Amino acid sequence: MKSGRLEAFSDGVLAIVITIMVLEMKAPEDTSFEGLLTVLPTFTSYLLSFIYLGIYWNNHHHLMQATEKVNGAILWANLHLLFWLSLIPFATSWLGENHTASLPVALYGFILLMSAIAYRILEIALIKHHGKQHLLQKAINKGKKEIISTLSYVISIPLAFLNSWLSLACIVFVAILWIVPERNLENLLKEKTP
Amino acid sequence: MKSGRLEAFSDGVLAIVITIMVLEMKAPEDTSFEGLLTVLPTFTSYLLSFIYLGIYWNNHHHLMQATEKVNGAILWANLHLLFWLSLIPFATSWLGENHTASLPVALYGFILLMSAIAYRILEIALIKHHGKQHLLQKAINKGKKEIISTLSYVISIPLAFLNSWLSLACIVFVAILWIVPERNLENLLKEKTP
Amino acid sequence: MKSGRLEAFSDGVLAIVITIMVLEMKAPEDTSFEGLLTVLPTFTSYLLSFIYLGIYWNNHHHLMQATEKVNGAILWANLHLLFWLSLIPFATSWLGENHTASLPVALYGFILLMSAIAYRILEIALIKHHGKQHLLQKAINKGKKEIISTLSYVISIPLAFLNSWLSLACIVFVAILWIVPERNLENLLKEKTP
Amino acid sequence: MKSGRLEAFSDGVLAIVITIMVLEMKAPEDTSFEGLLTVLPTFTSYLLSFIYLGIYWNNHHHLMQATEKVNGAILWANLHLLFWLSLIPFATSWLGENHTASLPVALYGFILLMSAIAYRILEIALIKHHGKQHLLQKAINKGKKEIISTLSYVISIPLAFLNSWLSLACIVFVAILWIVPERNLENLLKEKTP
């Protein structure tokens, strides 16, 4: 099986997930600057989630670039990832309304952790199907970024109940870490197709 | 006619249907664990419908993989399937708010039954257009899963008025049955493209 | 310019338009049959609009099948068509809540009329770009269906203020007329690619 | 890396952004002409934003037509553009409810300005990746339209606090300016592929 339709469906779901979050930003009743400022917490949550979904789309794009074939296990691993990502709008909406409350921050961290695990499962399913010698294997297991991210998510969850701002700082830190594009995989792909 | 655009449109509709259901999960007012628990029934309905739509996308993907050409009847059979699937968010929302009530469970089972019938009609339209000798025919008529699923849906509807939990169990059972990927069709396709 | 991306964007918009209408079908508070029946008018409006958007997607698909190249005028003619089609969810929602009121029925007919005109403009833009000798020209100007449809829409608008049921009957009649697939264009395409 | 999936994802986001705005047009309670007229301000805002998003889709389509390869910087520049465009529904909704208020008009102008800057950044990232000798470079830097548009947006923001109608006139003027298709780029592309 070709990977084209899996990409198209993932693109569709990610495009919708990234966009429907904006529906949470309700136009304020008041047309003053104070009115506009009431949208600020929702806006910052939206910005954070937009960046996270952008990172996932970006990495998914890189991963699929190196993918040639797809099987049933990969289709389900991909749907599993999309499921956790589809919960981001819910977590974003709750976070946007309660920036300083512990549980919304912890839930946000938890959903990011589950998404990271789901992404890892997808990677494993892809490697299993393509063989250990394949380019994919070389490209995926390079980074320490995955380990640092996962640790940060794990820490952010209990931390939210101690200090929600520190917990959010963990989450923002991971986002910044990932905005730097995945040079390794890109370079490897360049070597492959000179 | 090529089947590419039919797949793209179906992907679009399925991606939207699977994603807009999450809009039903409203962020709770309360930031306590009790507040979060109020979302649980909506969440489990969402999970169930996500899995069902994932199954349909998966099977649709397999079916179209074996499809080469498309005609007007197939286009309409496909739209008919998408129509019933597009009603799943409505049924999910009603079920999420009333897990133990009979009618929402029966409606959910009814829409799944109609989707299964619509899928069967699409299969018949595809076989008719490709010819009985075609790979498609061999691949489609293998499973007993279709018969078991359809029977389970048929039973789940009256059962909902006797015991809504047993009725839901029928529906969950079919979902589990289908998460196991359609090996038959996959193997047949593998034989075709060695 | 190739027509691929125009089709992809149109598919995206049509898939969203056809799907977001279902958001208007709110889960009833009441879990009785009477409760479910309150959704019936919204459901029938949704069904009607789903069929109309299905017809447009179908015909658009056929039209683009015969299209080879695209220019700026065609891009805008296509966006113009999508604009009127994007108003269908609004008209559907108003109609669903007020089946017997004149103005919602008239507005529904008006938006269908404008969509039909926009579709005709798109056809003209396509013919102009491809030349009169092109297959497209032969395929498009066959039907009397276009004339009957347009007349029916024109009649349905004033008729809504006399008898809204008769006006709706006009609109339903056109939908039935179009569900029969466009054999002419299909046959012509078959001749082209034997 | 190929640009195909970037286009598909952008198409998806733009298709959703352009369509969800219609959800803001709520069906009026009243079925009289007066009732329908209450939707008029929301409708005109929708029309304006539909045209702007149509322009962006159109120009993005032209730009990508001349693009051959894509890197990480381009992916993020594109996401940055999509972020600002995704805020248009919010700005449209606020504008639709408060046509004559200063701040909603200024915010609308500001988001258009940021979108224009994001588009320029995307162009720069594309030129940097393709080389100055490339067709893209020749095609992009022709127009005075970009400069006039950017100036109009810059002016529209403070102007909104003096006279919101004049400010809106600036914004409408830019939209009219761009509906005329980008002949230059089209002609250049025609030369390239005779």
List the structure tokens of B116. 């299964």
Decide if pLDDT at A107 tops 60: yes
Tell me which chain C residue has its CA closest to the CA of residue B95: C27
Chain D: touching chains (3 or more CB pairs < 8 Å): A, C
- pLDDT given for residue B73 in this prediction: 86
- pLDDT given for residue C194 in this prediction: 43
Q: Which tens digits make up the pLDDT trace of A146-157?
A: 888 999 999 999
- pLDDT given for residue D44 in this prediction: 93
Please indicate whether, in this complex, the C-beta atoms of D1 and A31 are within 8 angstroms of each other: no
Residues of chain C with pLDDT under 50: 194
- pLDDT given for residue C130 in this prediction: 79
Q: Which residues of A touch D86 (CB under 8 A)?
A: 18-19, 22, 50
Q: Chain B closest CA to C77's CA: distance in Å?
A: 20
* End-to-end CA separation in angstroms for chain C: 26
Q: Which residues of B touch C186 (CB under 8 A)?
A: 1, 71-72
Q: Which residues of D touch A8 (CB under 8 A)?
A: 8
- Higher-confidence residue of B85 and B70: namely B85
User: Which residue of C23, C90, C97 is in closest CB contact with D25?
Assistant: C90
- Higher-confidence residue of D4 and D96: namely D96
- pLDDT given for residue A182 in this prediction: 54
* Band of pLDDT at residue A126, cut at 50, 70 and 90: confident
**D2, β-bridge pairs:** D69
Chain B: touching chains (3 or more CB pairs < 8 Å): A, C
**C69, β-bridge pairs:** C2
Contact B129, B73 (CB under 8 A): yes
pTM: 0.89
Interface probe with A: pick from B22, B33, B92, most Cβ of A within 10 Å: B22
Please indicate whether, in this complex, the C-beta atoms of B15 and A16 are within 8 angstroms of each other: yes
Q: Chain B closest CA to C158's CA: distance in Å?
A: 31
Please provide residue A86's backbone torsions phi and psi, each rounded to the nearest 5 degrees. -70, -15
Q: Which tens digits make up the pLDDT trace of D125-182?
A: 888 887 766 666 666 655 678 888 999 999 999 999 999 999 999 999 999 888 865 5
Residue type, D116: A
**Distance of alpha carbon D138 from the chain centroid:** 22
Q: How many domains, chain C? A: 1
Contacts of B193 (CB under 8 A, 6+ apart): none
Decide if pLDDT at D82 tops 50: yes
What 3-state DSSP class applies to D96?
Answer: helix
Q: How far apart are CA D146 and CA A85, in angstroms?
A: 37
Residues of chain C that touch chain B, judged by Cβ-Cβ distance less than 8 Å: 7-8, 11-12, 14-16, 18-20, 22-23, 25-28, 31-33, 35-36, 39, 47, 50, 54, 57-58, 61, 64-65, 179, 181-183, 186, 189
List the structure tokens of A175. 């986002």
List the structure tokens of C170. 């006009």
**C164, β-bridge pairs:** none
Please indicate whether, in this complex, the C-beta atoms of B54 and A87 are within 8 angstroms of each other: no
Query: Taking Cα atoms as reference points, which of B144, B146, B162, B170 lies closest to residue B59?
Result: B146
Q: How far apart are CA D8 and CA C12, in angstroms?
A: 10
Among A188-192, B67-71, D47-51, the least confident range: A188-192
DSSP calls for chain C: -BSHHHHHHHHHHHHHHHHHGGGGSPPPS--SHHHHHTTHHHHHHHHHHHHHHHHHHHHHHHHHHT--B--HHHHHHHHHHHHHHHTHHHHHHHHHH-TT-HHHHHHHHHHHHHHHHHHHHHHHHHHHHH-TTSHHHHHHTT-SHHHHHHHHHHHHHHHHHH-HHHHHHHHHHHHHHHHS--HHHHHHHHHH--
Q: How far apart are CA B23 and CA A22, in angstroms?
A: 12
- pLDDT given for residue A62 in this prediction: 80
Q: Which tens digits make up the pLDDT trace of A16-27?
A: 999 999 988 888
- pLDDT given for residue D145 in this prediction: 81
Q: How far apart are CA C54 and CA C15, in angstroms?
A: 10
Over range A87-116, report the average pLDDT: 93
Decide if pLDDT at B169 tops 90: yes
Q: How far apart are CA D99 and CA D45, in angstroms?
A: 9
ipTM greater than 0.90: no
User: Which residue of B7, B33, B186 is in closest CB contact with A71?
Assistant: B186
Share of chain D above pLDDT 90, in %: 51
Q: How far apart are CA C78 and CA C69, in angstroms?
A: 13
Decide if pLDDT at D194 tops 50: no
**B2, β-bridge pairs:** B69
Integer angstrom CA distances of residue B60 from B6, B116, C85, C161: 11, 12, 27, 45
Q: Chain D closest CA to C158's CA: distance in Å?
A: 14
- pLDDT given for residue A135 in this prediction: 63
Over range D110-126, report the average pLDDT: 93
Please indicate whether, in this complex, the C-beta atoms of D32 and C79 are within 8 angstroms of each other: no
Query: Taking Cα atoms as reference points, which of C94, C105, C109, C115 lies closest to residue C24?
Result: C94
* Band of pLDDT at residue B167, cut at 50, 70 and 90: very high
Range of the domain at A83: 4-192
CB atoms within 10 A of CB D125: 20
Q: Which tens digits make up the pLDDT trace of C104-136?
A: 999 999 999 999 999 999 988 888 887 766 666
Over range D68-84, report the average pLDDT: 90
- pLDDT given for residue B194 in this prediction: 43
* Band of pLDDT at residue A194, cut at 50, 70 and 90: very low
Among B22-36, B124-138, D94-108, the least confident range: B124-138
